[in-house]
Chains A and B, each alone.
Chain A
Amino acid sequence: MSLAVEAKNLVKQFGNIRALDGLSFNIKQGEIYGLIGPNGAGKTTTLRTISTLILPTSGSVEIFGLDAVKQAAEVRKIISYLPEEAGAYPNLSGNEYLEFMAKFNTKNQKELHATIQEATKISGLGERLRDRTKTYSKGMKRRLLVARALMTRPKLAVLDEPASGLDVLHAYHVREIIKTYVKEHDVTVLLSSHNMLEVEYLCDRVALVNKGKIVVEGKPAELKKQYKSENLEEVFAKVVGYA
Chain B
Amino acid sequence: MLKGFTTILVKELKELMRDPKILIGMIVLPLVIFPVMGLVLGYAVESAQEQAQRATLLVVNNDGGEWSQTFISYLNGTMNVAVINNMNPQQVVSQNLLPEYNSTQFVEIPDGFSQNMTQHIDGGDFNVTATLNVYGVFQGGGIFSNLGSSGFSVIVNSFNRAIAPDVVYTSQSTIIKGEIQQGIDPATLSGLLISQSLALPITVMIMLTYSMQIAATSVAMEKEEKTLETLLTVPVDRFSILMGKLSSTMIVAGVAAIAVLFGYNYMLGSITMGIPTTGSADLVALGLVPSPLGYTLLGISLFVTLLSALALAVIMSAFSEDVRGAQALVGYLYPLIFIPSLALIYLDINTLPFALKAVLFAVPYSQPIIASQAVVLGDYTTVIFGIIYVAAFTVIIMYIASRLFATEKILTAKLKFRRGSKKTKEQQG
Residues in A lying within 8 Å of B, measured CB to CB: 14-15, 17, 19, 39-45, 47-48, 51-55, 73, 76-77, 79-90, 101, 104-105, 145, 148, 160-161, 192
Cβ < 8 Å to A, chain B residues 397-429: 407-408, 411-412, 423-429
Q: Does B230 contact A (CB under 8 A)?
A: yes
Chain A residues whose C-beta falls within 8 Å of the C-beta of B429 in the assembled complex: 39-45, 47, 84, 160-161, 192
Q: Which 3 A-B pairs have the closest CB atoms?
A: A44-B429, A87-B225, A81-B233
One of B232, B234, B236, B426 near A45 (C-beta < 8 A): B426
Would you list 23 pairs from A and B whose C-beta atoms are within 8 A, ordered by A residue? Answer: A14-B428, A15-B424, A39-B428, A40-B428, A43-B429, A48-B411, A51-B233, A54-B412, A76-B233, A80-B233, A81-B229, A83-B229, A84-B226, A86-B225, A86-B230, A87-B225, A87-B226, A88-B225, A90-B225, A104-B235, A105-B234, A161-B429, A192-B429
Complex interface: chain A residues within 8 A of B426 (CB) = 14, 17, 19, 45, 54
A105 touches B428 (CB 8 A): no
Are A55 and B227 closer than 8 Å at their CB atoms? Answer: no
Out of A14, A44, A88, A192, name the residue touching B227 (CB < 8 Å): A88
Q: A215 to B68, alpha carbons, bound, how many Å?
A: 106
B234 contact set on A, CB distance < 8 A: 76, 101, 104-105
Docked CA distance A53–B233 (Å): 7
- Docked Cα-Cα span, A19 to B412, in Å, equals 13
Q: Give the A-B pair count, Cβ closer than 8 A.
A: 87
Chain A residues, Cβ within 8 Å of B230: 81-83, 86, 101, 145, 148
Q: Is the CB of A85 within 8 A of B233?
A: no
Most buried by A among B225, B230, B412: B230
User: How many of B's residues come within 8 Å of A, CB to CB?
Assistant: 22
Residues of B within 8 A of A77 (CB): 235
List which B201-244 residues lie within 8 A (CB) of chain A: 224-227, 229-230, 232-236
Q: Is the CB of B427 within 8 A of A105?
A: no
Q: Is B235 a contact of A73 with CB atoms below 8 Å?
A: yes
> Do residues B226 and A85 form an inter-chain contact, with CB atoms below 8 A?
yes
**B424 contact from A14, A85, A87, A148, Cβ within 8 A:** A14
Q: Are A14 and B425 in contact (CB under 8 A)?
A: yes
A15-B423, A83-B229 given; A42·B411 CB < 8 A: no
Residue ID in chain B nearest A85 by CB atoms: B226
| Bound CA–CA A199/B236 (angstroms) | 32
Q: Which residue of B lies closest to A19 (CB)?
A: B428
Using A43-B428, A52-B233, A85-B226 as known contacts, list a sample of 7 further A-B pairs with CB atoms less than 8 Å apart, ordered by residue number in A: A39-B429, A41-B429, A77-B235, A89-B227, A90-B225, A148-B230, A161-B429
